[in-house]
């Protein structure tokens, strides 16, 4: 069965410092993985996606993630945090190619301090 | 890119009344739409999968008579919360399926039942 685990419920960084949001997945076959960002009372915006192409995926707003099959990880990083990056981040895996259902991680709240 | 328009963004209703939430795919045909519910500071919970021209598929534990889903066209899916009660207060989000290319989410509806 497919699942996704976000290891940190909260991450706090100072503006200008690197961001690391961790995600591990479990899948019986090659998964499709996504990172979404949600600002308060807003819908979700796609940051980036991995669909069995390049393992290092670049997304919007300077974010990137690396798919590591040996570690079953898909961690999200950004070299330098900005105040506007403060939001909730979700790691997501597609549950099945037949149904296209998504499984969401529990989310990581990123705080950015000036 | 693909856009899903969700309305209303906020609604307050009296207990016992019904509320309809609409999601429209603006520049693509959504044969499948997903409806999620999100409790405060929690992840998204899939409620049901809406398929154009057929009955929705509900997740275990979701009352299909309370949460009526209609997907009458390729661009419109609606969720009606019938006989709403305070415990139905939540943030509801729809998404249009684009499979492995990533899903587009509506901006969400904050429902408050008083």
Q: Is the pLDDT of residue A14 over 70?
A: yes
pLDDT tens digit sequence for B21-57: 999 988 888 888 999 999 887 888 999 998 888 889 9
Q: Residue B13: exposed, middle, or buried by beta-carbon count in 10 A (0-12, 13-18, 19+)?
A: middle
Residue matched to tokens 């949460």: B67
pLDDT bin (cut points 50, 70, 90) of residue A95 is low
Tell me the per-residue pLDDT of B65-107, one tens digit each, with 9 for 90 and over. Answer: 999 999 888 889 999 999 999 999 999 999 986 666 668 889 8
| Cα–Cα distance for residue pair A49/A90, rounded to 1 Å | 12
Q: d(Cα B89, Cα A68) in Å, to the nearest integer?
A: 39
Q: What pLDDT is attached to residue B103?
A: 80
Average pLDDT, chain B: 90
pLDDT, position A51: 80
Two structure tokens written together for A114: 């000036």
Q: Of residues A84 and B104, which shows the higher confidence score?
A: A84
The predicted structure's pLDDT at residue B65: 94
Q: What is the distance in angstroms between the Cα of A68 and the nearest Cα belonging to chain B? A: 18
Nearest chain A Cα distance for residue B59, angstroms: 11
Q: How far apart are CA A60 and CA A46, in angstroms?
A: 8
Cross-chain residue pair B93–A43, CB shorter than 8 Å: yes
| Three-state SS at B88 | helix
Q: Report residue A48's pLDDT band, with 50, 70 and 90 as the boundaries.
A: very high
Q: Tell me if A100 and B97 make a contact (CB, 8 A cut-off).
A: yes
Query: Which of B4, B46, B105 is nearest residue A101 as measured by Cβ atoms?
Result: B46
More confident residue, A91 or A27: A91
| Minimal Cβ distance to A44: which of B32, B99, B105 | B105
Q: Give the mean pLDDT of chain A.
A: 90
Distance in Å from the first CA to the final CA of chain A: 41
Residues of chain B in Cβ contact (below 8 Å) with chain A:
4, 6, 32, 34, 41-44, 46, 49, 91, 93, 95, 97, 99-108, 110
pLDDT confidence tier of residue A52, bands split at 50, 70 and 90: confident
Query: For residues B22 and B7, what is the distance between their CA atoms, to the nearest angstrom?
Result: 5
- Contact criterion met (CB below 8 Å) for A94 and A31: yes
The SS3 call for residue A4 is: strand
A49/B102 touch (CB, cutoff 8 Å), yes or no: yes
* Of B112, B111, B100, B114, nearest in space to B36 by CA: B111
Which DSSP letter does residue B31 get?
S
């Amino acid at each position: 069965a497919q699942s996704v685990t976000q290891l940190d419920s909260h991450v706090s960084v100072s503006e200008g410092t690197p961001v690391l949001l961790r995600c591990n997945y479990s899948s019986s076959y090659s998964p499709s993985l996504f990172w979404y960002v949600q600002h308060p009372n807003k819908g979700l915006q796609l940051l980036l996606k991995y669909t069995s192409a390049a393992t290092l995926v670049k997304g919007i707003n300077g974010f990137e993630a690396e798919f590591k099959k040996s570690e079953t990880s898909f961690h999200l990083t950004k070299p330098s945090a900005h105040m506007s990056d403060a939001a909730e981040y979700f790691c997501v895996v597609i549950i099945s190619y037949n149904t296209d259902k998504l499984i969401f991680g529990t989310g990581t709240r990123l705080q950015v301090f000036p | 890119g693909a856009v899903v328009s969700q309305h209303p963004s906020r609604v307050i209703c009296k207990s016992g009344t019904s509320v309809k939430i609409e999601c429209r795919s603006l520049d693509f045909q959504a044969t499948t739409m997903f409806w999620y519910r999100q409790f405060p500071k929690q992840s998204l919970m899939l409620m049901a999968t809406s398929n154009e021209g057929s009955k929705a598929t509900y997740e275990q534990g979701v009352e299909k008579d309370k949460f009526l889903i209609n997907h009458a066209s390729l661009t419109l899916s609606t969720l009606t919360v019938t006989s709403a009660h305070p415990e139905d207060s939540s943030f509801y989000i729809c998404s249009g399926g684009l499979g492995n290319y990533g899903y587009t989410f509506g901006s969400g509806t904050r429902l408050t039942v008083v």
